[in-house]
Chain A
Amino acid sequence: MTRVLLLPLLAALLFAGCTGDGGKADAGAEEITITGAGASFPYPLISKWSYEYHKLKPNIKINYQSIGSGGGIKQTMAKTVDFGASDAPLKEEEYRKMEGILHIPETIGAVVVVYNLPGVENKLRLSGEVVADIFLGKITKWNDPRIVELNPHVDLPDEQIIVVHRSDGSGTTFVFSDYLSAVSPEWREKVGKGKSLSWPLGLGGKGNEGVSGLVKQNPYSIGYVELAYAIENRISYARIKNRAGNFVEPSIESVAAAAAGAVATLPKGDESWAKVSIVNAPGENAYPISSFTYLLVYRDLAVIPGMTEAKAKALVEFLWWVIHDGQKYAPELHYAPLPEEVVKLNEETIRLITYQGKSLL
């Protein structure tokens, strides 16, 4: 009986082995593995890219480890990976330390303000100043006149607001605090922006799942998570007042609009991006809590130990594919595709990449 079952299984395995080898033989090219490390925020998208690109070019494997932006920057600095990824641009001093580093924004993410108010689903409107004062502990009740003023048609309860934030260091916190610093001078002075903060009050949840769990379980709470996470878990989120004065719902379109609005102010790929921020971007329909996330690549790839010309060429071709064809995979994963102007900027940046001074494209 077992033998009867085993035989086809063995046959199938053998057959699978054959086709596997056959595929390799067809490609007829050298196996190349490109390694990258860094931010966990773009991980789902990068892993989709590496899967699709491997289907396209079976001899090239992209191995991306989502160890966090901090680790990504450190490994890029130590030149132990072929490319890094970070949610925040390099700080001025990091940029100066890593000679010849290039920033390539690869996609756009957004942070949404989520809340748990029984009976008020997705109707709440908030402004940046009000959000900042809630997270500073200055607005403590849901029926505070300043919230009522923004929501005249919503029945707001006389309840204490429970503030929830991320406890782990994360790019999400960076973008959120970058926005609050941009709209509230008091926030900028008392708390500032960073991946981890000294929070004036509130509960800390680990990861997006920790924050959304706390918000879902505690009525009258407010927190912030990534856009994709809020959409997939159907948590109520607020419309945020943008610079043009409109209340904008977070969506792929409104996030892309924010990036397009900021294009004119972007530096070149080989300059410092430390001051780049697309929070509170101008534009009628721009969602104000948005941010680029970056790939970090050295201008001359020969500085990385073990790099060969073939590998450098493969990496550059992969980057080129990412900013063009790769962008079509972004919307299904709730990332906003890059606006055309940013793609153009990235094209220039990628053309700068060389191997021992030799152009690769």
Chain B
Amino acid sequence: MKLRVPSFSILNGKSWKFTHDTLFQIFLGVISIISVIVLAALLLRELIKGSWPALSTFGLEFLFSTAWNPVTGEFGALPFIYGTIVSSMLALLIGVPLSLGIAVYLTEIASSRVRAILSPVVELLAAIPSVIIGLWGIFVLAPFVREHLAPPLMNYLGFLPLFKGPAYGYSVLTAGLVLAIMIIPIISSVSREAILAVPSLQKEGALALGATRFETIISVVLPYAKGAIFGAVMLGLGRAIGETMAVTMVIGNNPQIFTSLLHPGYTMAAVIANEFTEATDDVYLAALIEIGLVLFAISMVVNIIARVITWKYLKLEEGLS
């Protein structure tokens, strides 16, 4: 689609349009590239500069060490990396099927009246401040996990290392549940847009061939919207990795690696929030900033993977159409 620019009598229409458009494009391009690169570079520079005392002391060992002792000045990030990854994955495991269910129901099945009531409610979940969700986690979810969710898990699945007791209520599982609640609005609303964008001709074609509604959704609608849905999931994952306050309040803050999901854990964002204000020691402070650097790197990698996969799907779709 090209924009039509009215030609002016003084100038030759064609050349005026050329210089005007090109200049404008270059101008916008330079602005967007510079602002992104400068921001990212500044951030990276600050993180590396701030974490230098720790980087130079611990080197790569930092990523694989499980020690976290501010008194003796030994620091390692592994328990925090582990906790962040496990709690985020758990959140996706619980949150993604629910979000997709919500998105499909709201677009394909619900009547317009139900849709008008339900979709703002789901989106409203995203507007709840995370500290409020954290408080709800402390007073409602953690006791519920301890008294009602953990006992049956330990009884029936206790033979798995994943569900070994004792259960305090404050655990990686509770954090995963809280994160799932926080990413559902994002994933479901973005996937809903993706499903709405599926051309009705496709759906009608499937229905005309005798497919049931279920078959249409499974074999036509979801595959068509796959790329965008994947992007939505990655957005949710990004949120889960970086979420701080609500997780800190329910995860139990224990920097050790346990296989059991019922055991307390710790995340990268949580340890920064917890310990930054009182870190006076240079190496201690640097270790916390280095955790920030690792968090930054992990988020970047997740986003890049998401981009690449989304591009692949988009190309595939372009090729098909």
Contacts and interface: CB of A to CB of B under 8 A. Distances in A.
B71 A169 contact: no
Given A168-B274, A195-B278, A204-B254, A217 B71 contact: no
B280 A192 contact: no
A47 interface: no
A36 interface: no
Contact of A169 (B138, B143, B275): B275
B166 interface: yes
A70 B253 contact: no
B279 A169 contact: yes
Interface in B167-185: 168-170
Given A162-B168, A197-B71, A203 B278 contact: no
Interface stretch (B24-32, B62-70, B152-160): B62-70
A213 B143 CA distance: 11
A214 B168 CA distance: 9
B15 interface: no
B129 to A, nearest CB: 16
A217 B143 contact: yes
Contacts of A205: 253
A342 to B, nearest CB: 25
Nearest to B69: A198
B291 interface: no
A70 B276 CA distance: 8
Contacts of B254: 199, 202-204
A204 B69 contact: no
The range of chain B's interface size is 20 to 34
Interface string A177-206: 000000000000001111111110011111
A262 to B, nearest CB: 24
Interface in A205-233: 205-206, 210, 213-214, 217-218
B268 interface: no
A1 B249 CA distance: 49
Interface in B59-104: 67-72
B262 to A, nearest CB: 12
B248 interface: yes
B70 A218 contact: no
Contacts of A213: 138-139
A324 interface: no
B70 A196 contact: yes
Residue from B139, B170, B278, B279 whose CB has the most chain A CB atoms within 10 Å: B278
A194 B253 CA distance: 17
B100 to A, nearest CB: 33
A68 B142 contact: no
Contacts of B227: none
B277 A203 contact: no
A74 B280 contact: yes
Nearest to A86: B280
A71 B278 CA distance: 7
A214 B274 contact: no
B312 to A, nearest CB: 42
Nearest to B264: A203
Nearest to B254: A204
Contacts of B264: 203-204
Contacts of A192: 71-72
A196 B272 CA distance: 12
Contacts of B166: 160
A169 B277 contact: yes
Contact of B67 (A67, A198, A204, A210): A198
A196 B278 contact: yes
A198 B68 contact: yes
B53 interface: no
A94 B280 CA distance: 10
A272 to B, nearest CB: 16
A193 B71 contact: yes
A242 interface: no
B252 interface: yes
B69 A168 contact: no
A315 interface: no
A132 interface: no
B68 A70 contact: no
A167 interface: yes
A170 interface: yes
B142 A217 contact: yes
Interface centre among A71, A94, A191, A217, by most chain B C-beta atoms within 10 angstroms, is A217
Given A169-B275, A196-B275, A213-B138, A203 B170 contact: yes
A347 to B, nearest CB: 29
A10 B164 CA distance: 66
Given A191-B71, A203-B254, A204-B254, A70 B249 contact: no
A238 interface: no
A169 B274 contact: yes
A144 B70 CA distance: 31
Contacts of B277: 67-68, 70-71, 168-169
Nearest to B271: A167
Contacts of A214: 170
Contacts of B67: 198
Q: Which of A160, A193, A202 has the most CB of B within 10 A?
A: A202
Given A70-B278, A203-B264, A204-B274, 17 more contacts: A68-B277, A68-B278, A74-B280, A162-B168, A168-B274, A169-B70, A169-B276, A169-B279, A171-B278, A192-B72, A202-B254, A204-B253, A204-B264, A206-B248, A206-B249, A206-B274, A218-B146
10 contacts: A70-B278, A74-B280, A168-B274, A169-B70, A169-B275, A191-B71, A192-B72, A206-B249, A210-B138, A213-B138
Interface of B: 67-72, 138-139, 142-143, 146, 166, 168-170, 248-249, 252-255, 264, 266, 270, 273-280
Interface of A: 67-71, 73-74, 91, 94, 160, 162, 167-171, 191-199, 202-206, 210, 213-214, 217-218
